[in-house]
């Protein structure tokens, strides 16, 4: 198939995840905490799609996230396809139909993306000890919330697959 309909589902749900994260962050400004829960955005496209369709989805998602987050422009556009490429190379080892492996991968991706943003913020001049502690607390809180958000997000994507009559299984299932 030249164009996979699942790309539109992945893009819509990734934009929904980013929008909800930004809404929650703007709603909890009184607590001076910013949540970072974008790890799930690059997991299921890498597990479900072919490589060319995955890269199209990852680059568009990365550009959208770069436009919304206060980090170096282009960093997410590079990091999301890089993380997805690692998952794409070893995707035969992961079961995409259940939530355990994608949730574990979402935590790893979220941790690495958040560390990259924290590193760039510290390098840009905010290198006090207090900010490192605040960023660590935000990262721990983000992972606690990701325990609830990631299964919901992956189930939403799979539900949209079944509603739109798309293929509900990955391109290449792992061997059993």
Q: Give the model's confidence band at 127: pLDDT under 50 very low, under 70 low, under 90 confident, else very high.
A: low
> Is the pTM here over 0.75, yes or no?
yes
> Average pLDDT of 112-122?
84
pLDDT attached to residue 5: 86
- d(CA 76, CA 109) in angstroms, rounded, equals 12
Burial 87-111, CB ≥16 within 10 A → b, else e: bbeebeebebeebebbbebbbebbb
What are the DSSP calls for 40-60, one per residue?
A: GGGTHHHHHS-HHHHHHHHHH
Terminal-residue alpha carbon distance, the chain: 26
* pLDDT value at 175 more than 50: no
Q: Give the model's confidence band at 172: pLDDT under 50 very low, under 70 low, under 90 confident, else very high.
A: low
Over the stretch 50-76, which tens digit does the pLDDT of each residue have? 888 899 999 999 999 998 887 778 888
Report domain extents, the chain: 6-163
Backbone angles phi, psi at 77, to 5 degrees: -65, -25
């Amino acid at each position: 198939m030249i164009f996979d309909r699942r790309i539109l589902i992945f893009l819509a749900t990734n934009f929904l995840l980013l929008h909800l994260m930004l809404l929650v962050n703007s709603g909890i400004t009184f607590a001076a905490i910013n949540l970072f829960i974008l790890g799930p955005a690059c997991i299921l496209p890498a597990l479900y799609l072919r490589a060319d369709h995955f890269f199209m989805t990852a680059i568009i998602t990365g550009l959208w996230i770069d436009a919304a987050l206060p980090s170096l422009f282009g960093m997410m556009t590079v990091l999301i396809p890089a993380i997805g490429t690692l998952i794409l190379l070893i995707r035969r080892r992961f079961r995409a139909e259940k939530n355990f492996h994608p949730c574990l991968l979402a935590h790893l991706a979220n941790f690495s993306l958040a560390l990259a943003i924290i590193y760039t913020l510290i390098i840009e001049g905010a290198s006090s000890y207090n900010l490192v502690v605040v960023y660590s607390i935000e990262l721990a809180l983000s992972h606690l919330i990701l325990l609830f958000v990631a299964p919901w997000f992956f189930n939403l994507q799979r539900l949209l697959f079944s509603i739109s009559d798309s293929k509900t299984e990955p391109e290449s299932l792992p061997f059993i």
